Amino acid sequence: MKKIEILTICAHDGILQTIKRLINNNELWNSTGAIDIQEAIELAENKDFDLILIGSGLTAADEHELESVLATRKNIPVVKHYGGGSGLLFGEIHQALSGR
């Protein structure tokens, strides 16, 4: 079965690794991490993602650009993650994937 591909962008590497680990604990999901907007856009140009998760540490302009480039141009849902790889992560992903 094809996994749900999730691109996670977070400037805090420790939190990024935590989020990736938590996502990848679900055998139906696969997370690829990016530490900044440039890396995120490059990854999105070369791989199809089902969901973009924006973590902490990006500027408001970067967050806006990510939403603009990835959500609008590539039609990928973008979710702002809150909490830092904690108890909210799965709810955010489920909600985004169900289009609620």
Partner 1 sequence: MENFIIHKAATRGLANHGWLNSAHSFSFGSYYNPDRMNFGVLRVLNDDTVDGGRGFGDHPHDNMEIISIPLEGDLVHKDSMGNEAIIRKGEIQAMSAGTGIYHSEFNKDGSAPVKFLQIWLYPNKRNVTPRYDQVKIDTAERNVFHQVLSPNANDAGVWIHQNAWFNMGKFDQGAETTYQLNDKKNGVYAFILSGNVTINGQALEPRDGMGIVADSLTVKADTDAEILLMEVPMEL
Distance between CA atoms of 25 and 57, rounded to whole angstroms? 24
Query: Cβ 77 to partner 1, closest distance in Å?
Result: 16
Dihedral sign (CA 93, 11, 49, 78): positive
Cα torsion for 7, 12, 17, 20, to the nearest 10°? Answer: -30
Of 11 and 43, nearer to partner 1 (C-beta) is 11
Interface with partner 1 (CB under 8 A), residue total 28
Give the residue, chosen from 15, 40, 44, 52, that forms a contact with partner 1 under the rule CB under 8 A. Answer: 15
Q: How far is the CB of 98 from partner 1 (least distance, A)?
A: 7
